[in-house]
Amino acid sequence: MPESRPLGNEALHFAVLICLCCVAMMSNPWEAISAGSSSESLTTCEIQKGPCTKELAGLTVTLDILPKPVTAMKDLNFQVTLSGEKKTDLPYIDLGMPGMNMGPNRVELRRVKENVYEGQGIIVRCPSGRRTWKATVTLPEAGQVEFVFDVIY
């Protein structure tokens, strides 16, 4: 009969090695570790309090999402207002999460009045529980701006 011996350092080293391998397989392990923590440092827009504004190529781009509070899994109205040099192509919004590929989720915008564009969309609930989302507003002739904000589940 083989002699049994207590688990020692070998088992501990093996467990640590397995944990390190799992962390290494994640695309961004620190983001996954902090998924449940506050995302204040990631957000660039307090959309729950009102519209957010950024500058892009001589334009002021303002994003608003209604109704408030901005909640996942509900029909939302996305509004982009431009001021400054006029552009002819319609802007659009791609929704996603910072550091995570969520698949395509585009909000097509239509002109509702001078320099104001609106469209309907839904922010889905992430199975990870993360609540930080990114709206990338693309102005085809000028470039892109990103608004990073938190939603309510």
Q: How many domains does the chain have?
A: 2
Question: Strand 52-56 and strand 59-66: pairing?
Answer: antiparallel
Shared domain for 75 and 139, answered yes or no, is: yes
Shared domain for 33 and 67, answered yes or no, is: no
Shared domain for 12 and 57, answered yes or no, is: no
Shared domain for 63 and 125, answered yes or no, is: yes
Residue 91's pLDDT band, with cuts at 50, 70 and 90, is very high
Shared domain for 11 and 78, answered yes or no, is: no
Q: What does the pLDDT average to over 53-59?
A: 92
- Which residues constitute the domain of residue 30? 7-37
pTM of the model: 0.72
Shared domain for 18 and 79, answered yes or no, is: no
Lowest mean pLDDT among 6-10, 26-30, 123-127: 26-30
Shared domain for 140 and 67, answered yes or no, is: yes
User: Do the Cβ atoms of 120 and 78 come closer than 8 Å?
Assistant: yes
DSSP-derived 3-state class of residue 12: helix
30 assigned to some structural domain? yes
* pLDDT tens track for 100-150: 888 899 999 999 999 999 999 999 998 888 999 999 999 998 999 999 999
